[in-house]
Amino acid sequence: MAYSLNGQRVLCFVGDDYEDLELWYPRLRLAEAGVTMVLAGAEAGKRYVGKNGYPCVSEAAIRDMRADDFQGVLCAGGWMPDKLRREQPVLDLIRTFHERGQLVAAICHGGWMPISAGVYRGVRVTGSPGIKDDLINAGAHFEDSAVVVDRHFVSSRKPDDLPLFCVGMLQVLSR
């Protein structure tokens, strides 16, 4: 299915030890559909290195991001989410996207950020088996599926699930 979502923007958090594929695959797939993904890290213009060594330069600082400028957020995995989940601006942005019914997408360990934002209670989700207990303890309904779409929430388990994860994101953005 072809998507034409020209003009839409999605925020993506980035930091050291992000899961390379879980950031770059969605960025490229969403770009094919006309969606601009803005990469925001602790500092604008900083070079971050993924778990597998692929570099990424942030385009903006998280503290300067406003939910009003985006249609959703992507929380990629890796070890990065464990650090970013401690940052209040990250949590505030995720909460705002949720409150507005906008895309909140998380893959693998990226689910740690929505967990810490307190937005998963009663939501059907999936994620890395390593955070299954965290998801359940946050009040989510865990499903071991390649992708779970529940309203404006999209979640996946691992890089192998990226094709279906991106389809789920595109479906939510096209509503």
Confidence of residue 1 (pLDDT cuts 50, 70, 90): low
pLDDT, position 3: 76
Among 98, 109, 141, 152, the active-site one is: 109
Residue 41 CA to chain centroid, in angstroms? 13
Q: What is the DSSP letter of 68?
A: G
Condensed to tens digits (0 to 9), the pLDDT of residues 119-157 reads 999 999 999 999 999 999 999 999 999 999 999 999 999
Q: 109 an active-site residue?
A: yes
Condensed to tens digits (0 to 9), the pLDDT of residues 95-106 reads 999 999 999 999
Domains of the chain: 9-173 (3.40.50.880)
Tokens of 71: 């249609």
Neighbouring C-alpha atoms within 13 Å toward the C-beta of 147: 20
User: Which of 16, 17, 23, 18 has the alpha carbon at shortest distance from 42?
Assistant: 16
Q: Are 27 and 113 in contact (CB under 8 A)?
A: no
Q: Which residues pair with 38 in a beta bridge?
A: 11
Dump strand ranges (E) for the chain: 9-13, 36-41, 47-49, 55-57, 60-61, 72-75, 103-107, 124-125, 141-142, 147-150, 153-156
